[in-house]
């Protein structure tokens, strides 16, 4: 009785509330909870969908793929321009 259980990330901490109340004047910093870091982390997770390194790598790969697609298109156009007719028309000029 008089116990407070806190569970987070698979860890469990058990506080004896009555013992804490007996020592409430010892150190005011002991009873201070810092939530600013948690709020900043939550906002950061919402605003950034992926880590910066991941964004750089993905974007650079996308840019490379666009460049490769342009080069492939150029090669295909050159190949099509040099295409040999499969049914050549030949005329005998000595007739």
Question: Does the pLDDT of residue 8 top 80, yes or no?
Answer: yes
DSSP per-residue string spanning the chain = --EEEEEETTEEEEEEHHHHHHTTTS-GGGG----HHHHHHHHHHHH-SS-HHHHHHHHHHHHHHHHHHHHHHHHHHHHHHTPPPSS-----TT-
Q: pTM of the prediction? A: 0.32
CA 72/CA 51 separation, integer angstroms:
31
Averaged confidence pLDDT in the chain = 76
Contact, 69 vs 77, CB < 8 A?
Answer: no
Kindly report, residue by residue over 11-44, the tens digit of the pLDDT: 898 888 887 666 656 666 655 566 777 777 777 6
Q: Which of 24, 26, 1 is nearest to 14 (CA)?
A: 1
Question: Does the pLDDT of residue 77 top 80, yes or no?
Answer: yes
pLDDT in the model for residue 20: 67
Q: Which of 8, 64, 2 is nearest to 33 (CA)?
A: 8
């Amino acid at each position: 009785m008089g116990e407070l259980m806190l569970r987070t990330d698979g860890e469990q901490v058990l506080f004896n509330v009555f013992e804490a109340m007996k020592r409430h004047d010892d150190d005011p910093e002991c009873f201070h909870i810092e939530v600013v870091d948690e709020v900043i982390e939550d906002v950061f997770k919402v605003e950034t969908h992926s880590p910066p390194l991941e964004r750089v790598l993905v974007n650079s790969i996308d840019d490379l793929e666009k460049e490769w697609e342009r080069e492939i298109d150029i090669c295909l156009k050159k190949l099509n321009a040099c295409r040999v007719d499969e049914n050549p028309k030949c005329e005998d000029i000595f007739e």
